[in-house]
Amino acid sequence: MVCFLAVLMLMSMAACASDKAQPDPPATQEATQKEETILDETETIQLQEEEPEESEENEDSEDPGYEMGTIDGLTFTNDFMGISCTLPEDWVYASEAEIAELNGVVLDMFEDSEQVAELMENSSCIYDVVAYSGDGLCNFNLIAENMGLLYGVFIDEKDYAELTVEQVKSIYDSAGYTNVQSEITEREIFGGTHVTIFTTSTIPEEQGGMDMYQLQILKKNGAFMGVLSIASFVEDHTEEIASWFS
């Protein structure tokens, strides 16, 4: 029901942020990651070319109602969800290959957790966009969950937020996060009033022990619940980042 991919991605990015906050190791890890990203992009193109029939079957099985956003330079726009954002010049959008790589990081982090593995397997979420700051200490992602015909009618933003808060602490605790506190409020954004969740926590010492500030803004459209998750490490810049959205 609740889209856990947004939360788990933030946790995977927390590990990346802790690396950014510490001195770089002597190995050329960044260059290796870029090479892996290029390989991932090549493999993705090859798979798409070799398996057209499977792609057509997947398209038939997926709900055609959701429309992905588009990126033009530094501006992201999703007309379906009514969400747009323009990044400052020191921020970048993640490529499709990078998002797939982040999924792999998330799975590696929780490879021994049957509960999280089951949640990932049963997820009906759609990654739309991911962006991060040049210093790696701030990021956001927009994910939409297809709640289905039944839940899409009866679950509103407040219900969804309450379900999310109930589960977030359990997931964070299992990952070793401490001082986890969440608050549900509302704010004017995206042309209306929408429910938000503000969560503070401290990531594990082995990942840097930094404070994490997370602002999630919900926007429902039909059976889809859009979740904009903004994360800031060390210092709280979530409000500043939220101001980029309209």
pLDDT by residue (tens digit) across 115-143? 555 554 555 777 788 999 999 999 999 98
Confidence of residue 158 (pLDDT cuts 50, 70, 90): very high
Does the pLDDT value for residue 107 go beyond 70? no
| pLDDT value at residue 28 | 45
Q: How confident is the model at residue 92 (pLDDT cuts 50, 70, 90)?
A: very high
Q: Is the pTM value of this prediction over 0.75?
A: no
Is it the case that residue 154 has pLDDT exceeding 90? no
Taking only the tens place, the pLDDT of each residue in 176-231 is 999 999 999 999 999 999 999 999 999 999 888 999 999 999 999 988 999 999 99
Considering only CA atoms, which of 144, 40, 58 is closest in space to residue 99?
A: 40
145/220 Cα distance (integer angstroms): 9
In this prediction, residue 57 carries a pLDDT of: 43
**34-84 confidence digits (pLDDT tens):** 444 433 444 443 434 444 454 444 444 444 477 888 899 999 999 999 999
The pLDDT of residue 79 is 95
Amino acid letter at 226?
A: G
SS3 sequence of 125-183? EEEEEEEEECCCCEEEEEEEEECHHHHHHHCCHHHHHHHHHHHHHHHHHHCCCEEEEEE
3-state secondary structure 178-207: EEEEEEEEEEEECCEEEEEEEEEEECCHHH
Rounded mean pLDDT, 17-41? 47
Cα→Cα distances 246→76, 85, 215, 235, Å: 11, 7, 16, 23
- Across the beta sheet with 125-133, the strand order is 91-93, 125-133, 138-146, 224-233, 211-221, 192-202, 178-189
Rounded to an integer, what distance in angstroms lies between the CA atom of residue 196 and that of residue 217? 4
